[in-house]
Copies of this chain bind each other. A is one copy, B any other.
Amino acid sequence: MTTTTIATDQDVATLINVFTVTRKTQQPLVDLLTEATEQVMRHHRGFISANIHASLDGTRVVNYAQWRSREDFQAMLDDPTAREHMSAAGSLATAEPHLYEVASVHHV
């Protein structure tokens, strides 16, 4: 699969991580998350996808990511290299990561 799709019947753990930034730190954080995802996260067991979003008002960055399971995501959190990248992100922004399930989808 080369594109993230959102559906209620997928067996994935969805991570939505909301970073609060400023206009000055938004692009550096996007760059850091992009690099960390390519170099570290995507090589972890259970990684499916990550999508880095920048808010038009310059105040937020959101990572919408899918992992195969909650356990795979948790294992990544315990990896020292991943923690190093998350700590670097933490110096640019406050992060609010939560795991989600898709409750309902709606289309025209």
Contact = CB atoms under 8 A, between A and B. Distances in A.
A106 B18 contact: no
B4 A100 contact: no
Tallying the copies of this chain within the complex gives 2
Interface of A: prevailing SS: strand
Interface stretch (A43-51, A77-85, A87-95): A43-51
A4 to B, nearest CB: 4
Interface string A25-45: 000001001100110011000
B47 A108 contact: yes
Contact of A62 (B16, B56, B59, B105): B16
A52 B107 CA distance: 12
A86 to B, nearest CB: 16
Interface in A1-41: 1-7, 14, 16, 18, 30, 33-34, 37-38, 41
A3 B14 contact: no
6 contacts: A16-B64, A18-B18, A34-B103, A37-B106, A47-B108, A60-B98
